[in-house]
Each structure stands twice: as structure tokens, then as C-alpha cells.
Structure 1
Amino acid sequence: MKLYPINAGNFKLDGGAMFGVVPKVIWNKTNPADEKNLIDIAARCLLIEDGDRLLLIDTGMGNKQSDKFFSYYSLWGDDSIDRSLQKYGFHRDDITDVFMTHLHFDHCGGTVQWNTDRTGYELAFKNARVWSNEEHWQWATKPNPREKASFLKENILPIQESGHLNFVKRSGEAFQTNSELGFDILFADGHTDKQMIPHIQYQDKTIVFMADLLPTAGHIPLPYVMGYDTRPLLTMPEKALFLENAAKNNWYLFLEHDAHNEIITVQQTEKGVRLKDVYTFNELFN
């Protein structure tokens, strides 16, 4: 097995929305905002090469939305899935599986693209099976008013129409092994219903793809919960239990949305779990 970080692009989000009830004077120390109160955000995906399988976790925003849509998110930098794949000698047609932690547009938008004449949509990874779970799929295709703007039908319905949609089978446990995909999955409900957090065993380390359970290193303290979370009072105990396990077991946390910190570890302190070390992917694995 080999892992590759894949940057699908960078954007900005409102810092207040990203930190909920936490005052700006506090979160601005770790996630400094610009003059519009926006903070740097990444769409850092993860590619797993394992034998004949090439599995991509999350796909970023994609590029099919309107200029007006993208203007809300202040895109920056020149990273893309295609450039990142090419860096490692791969093409999107090589991808055999796309695993979506959840179906918010900034995590799954790159899974679907315009067709050649822009009359409809097609899979951006034409040879890939696409993985979600049935409970989250139902949640996303019949969205509540709070999340409706994040679950875009053009990102979701073409996957099912393509015939490539697969559901991860759940045992009912929050944490379970998935032998078909080759990694363990933690199901978390605070951010959105049945978000999936992969735990990957790699070079004697546990790499956890954090998705929106821990967006950035600045979100480690328990009350630092995004305004986007549908059940913030559930996010806190989910995060507390996860961080305790991460500190105890020295897990390496792969941050999808932290534009400046790729991988971190955490430790127990008198103030609770806090940041321990920060690594680049290359420092750990090259």
C-alpha cells in the first residue's frame, strides 16, 4: 500500500461560521482571517494505492459550478486533482474507487463533471465505483433546510444515475472494520448524519482522514465547533471520545481542510487534549 496527498484546490470560508460561538479574538490566533473575515481552507484529499486498487477519499468542489457560486468561496492557488494525480504519475481514469466521507459540495463536487457539450453531467472518474452509505445518502437526497445549500443535486443524483453508486454496509456500530475497502470507518453524526471517518493502517501508523470531524488544528478544543454542524452538542462528545483515543494511541490526523497543517498528533494536557506535533506528509513518509 502507498498513500498520496491530493490537493483538490484551496478556498476561503467565514471564520465566524467555522468556529461557531468561539470569539474571533481567540480563533484568529490559530486561523488568521483576512479583511473580509475569511480564513484559508484546503480541500486535501487522500489517494490510496493498494495492489490494483486506486482509491480516492473525497474530491473537493470540482469545477462545474458557476462563476457566481465560486465567487462566494474566494478560490486561491493553482492546485487541482488533475495536477496532483499527474505529480504521482496517475490520471483520473486510473481511479478504481471514490470514497466520499459525506456529500457536502466541498467534499464531493469533484465526483461529477459536465459532459463534453455541457448538456448534462457525467462521472469525473469514469472507471470508479463511488462509495457512500445508505443512511447518509437518504439524508442528502432529502435535505433539511439547514443543509440544503450544501447538498447540491447536481453533485449527487448523477452518481446514482451512472450506476456506479455503492453503499458501505453498516453493522450498527459507530466504529467498524470494512474489509472490502481495506480500512476501518468511524461514523459520526454531529456535523451531518453518518459522516464517515476512515482509519488507515500505513507503515506501522494509524492515519485518520479527519473530514469535518476536525476541520483544522485550530478546532481541537471541544467547544470549537463549526456553525455548519447540524448537531453541535453531539459533535462535542464525538470529538472528545475521538481525541482521547487519538492521544492514547498516537494516531496521525490527516487534516482535509487545514491549508497550513497537513498532519498532526495530539496529547493529553491539564487543559484536555491539545496539539502535540505538526508534520508534512513528506516528513513522515518519504
Structure 2
Amino acid sequence: MTIYPIETGNFKLDGGAMFGVVPKTIWQRTNPADANNLIDIAARSILIEDGDKLTLIDTGLGNKQSDKFFGYYNLWGEYNLDTSLAAHGFHKDDITDVFMTHLHFDHCGGCIQWNKDRTGYEPAFKNAKFWTNRDHWKWATEPNAREKASFLKENLLPMQESGQLHFLPLNQLPFCEKSALGFGIHFVDGHTDKQMLPQITYKGKTIVFVADLIPTVGHIPLVYVIGYDTRPLITLKEKEVFLNYAAENEIYLFFEHDAHNQLCTVKHTEKGVRLDTIYTFNELFN
């Protein structure tokens, strides 16, 4: 097995929304805001090469939305999915499986692209299976008012119409030790229903792709819960369980949304579980 970090692009979000009830005077120490109160956000994926399988975990925002849409998110930097794959010798047509932690547009937007004449949409990964679970698919395609703007039909329906959509079973909640894709899955419900966090054993270390349970290093303290979560009290319980598990089992947290930190470990302190050590992927595995 070989794992590659894939940078699909960077954007910005309102710092207050990203930290909920935590005051700016506190959160800006780890996530400094610009003059418009926006903080740096990444859309970082993982690519897993394992035998004849090439699995991509999340795909970023994609590039099919309008300039007006992207204007709300202040795109920055030079990263994109195509060039990041190419840097490791791969093309989107090589991908056999796309695993989606959840179906918010910044996690699955890259799954679907315009067709050649821009009259409709098509899968960006023509040879891949798209993986979610039935409960989350129903949640996303029949969205509540709070999340409706994050579940975009142009990201979702073409997956189903293509015949490439597949569902992972939910019979091993809250943790599946080994899925059909070869890695474990933590199921969490606070951010959105049945978000899936992959757990991967690689070169003697255990990595968890923490997605929106812990977006950045600054979100490690228990009560630092993002304002976008639909069930913040459930997030608190899920974070407590996961952070204790991570501290006690030397888990490496892989950040999807931290633009400046790729991985870290955590430790127990008198104030609860806190950041231990920050790593780059190359420091750990090359």
C-alpha cells in the first residue's frame, strides 16, 4: 500500500462560523483571520494505492460552479485535483473508487464535472465507484433547511444516474473495523447524519481522516465545535470519545481542512485532550 496526500485547492470561511460559540480572541491564536474575518481552509484528500485499487477519499469543491458561487469562498493558492494527482503520476481515469466522508459540496464537488459541451453533468471519474451510505444519501437528497445550501443536486444526482453510486453497509456502527475498501470507518452524526471517517493502517501507524469532526488543529479542544454542525451536542460526545481513543492509541489525525497542518497526534492533559505534535506527511512516511 502507498498513500499520497492530495491537495485539491484552498478557500476561506468565516472564522466565527468555523468556531461557533468560541470567542475570536481565543480562536484567532491558532487560526488567524483576515480583515474580513475569513480564515484559511484546505480541501485535502488522501489517495490510497493498494494492489489494483486506487481509492480517493473526498474530492474537494471541483470547478463547475459559477464565479459568483466561488466568490463566496475566496479561492486562493495554486492547488487543484488534476495537478495534484498528476504530481504522483495519476489521472482521474485511473481512480477505481471514490469514498465520500459526506456529501457537502466542499467534500464531493470534484466528483462531478461539466460534460464536453457544457449542456449537463457527468462523473469526473469515469471508471470509479462512488461510495457513501444509504442513510447519508437520503439525508443529502432530502435535505433539511439548514443544510440545503451544502447539498447541491448537481453534485449528487449525476452519481446515481451514471450507475456508479454504491452504498456501504451500516451494520457495524459506530465503528466498522474493515470496510469493502480495506480500511476501517468511524461513523459520526453531529456534523451531518452518518459522516464517515476512514481509519487506515499504514507503515505501522494508524491514521484517521478526521474530515469535519475536527477540521483544523485549532478545533481539537472539546468545546471548539463548528457552527455548521446540525447536532452540536452530539458532536461534543463524539469528539470526546474519539479524542480519548486517539490519545490512548497513538492515532495520527489527518486534517482535510487545515491549510497549514497535515497531521498531528494528541495527548491527555489536565485541561483535557490537547495537541501533542504536528507533522507533515513526508516527515512521517518518507
With normalisation by structure 1, the TM-score equals 0.99
Contact 2:59 2:110 in 1 (8 A): yes
Does 1:222 find its partner at 2:184? no
Uncovered stretches (5+) of structure 1, i.e. residues with no partner: none
One-letter amino acid of the counterpart of residue 107, structure 1: H
User: 1:179 Cα deviation (Å)?
Assistant: 3.9
**Distance in 1 between the 2:227 and 2:179 partners?**
34
Aligned partner of 1:158 in structure 2 is 158
Query: What's the offset of the Cα at 1:109?
Result: 0.2
Provide the secondary structure at the position in 2 that maps to 1:283: helix
What is the aligned partner in structure 1 of residue 232 from structure 2?
232
Q: Distance in 2 between the 1:180 and 1:269 partners?
A: 37
Q: For this pair of structures, how many residues does the alignment match?
A: 286
1:201 is paired with a residue of what secondary structure?
A: strand
Distance 1:230 1:262 in 2: 26
CA–CA separation in structure 2 for the residues paired with 1:85 and 1:102:
21
Q: Distance in 1 between matches of 2:247 and 2:124?
A: 37
Question: 2:163 is aligned with what amino acid?
Answer: G
Instruction: Report the AA paired with residue 4 of structure 2.
Output: Y
Q: Equivalents in 2 of 1:18, 1:177: separation in Å?
A: 30
Structure 2 portions without partners, runs of 5+: none
Q: Which residue of 1 aligns with 2:31?
A: 31
- Matches of 1:159 and 1:178, distance apart in 2: 24
Q: Secondary structure at the match of 1:277?
A: strand
- Aligned-residue sequence identity (percent) comes to 71
Q: How does 1:1-286 map to 2 (within 5 A)?
A: 1-286=1-286
3-state SS of 1:191 partner: coil
Give the CA RMSD over aligned residues: 0.6
Q: Normalized against structure 2, the TM-score is what?
A: 0.99
C-alpha displacement at 1:176, in angstroms?
1.0
Q: What SS does the corresponding residue of 1:6 show, helix, strand or coil?
A: strand
Q: Distance in 2 between matches of 1:247 and 1:177?
A: 19
Residue type matched to 1:256 in 2?
Answer: E
Question: In 2 relative to 1, CA 179–194 (structure 1 residues): closer, same or farther, beyond 3 Å?
Answer: closer
* Preserved contact between residue 179 and residue 185 of structure 2 (Cα < 8 Å): no
Please list the CA deviations of residues 182-203 of structure 1 after superposition, one character each: whole Å capped at 9, or x if unmatched: 0010100000000000000100
What is the identity, as a one-letter code, of the residue corresponding to 1:117? D
Task: After the TM superposition, list the runs of 4 or more consecutive aligned residues in structure 1 that deviate by more than 3 angstroms.
Answer: none
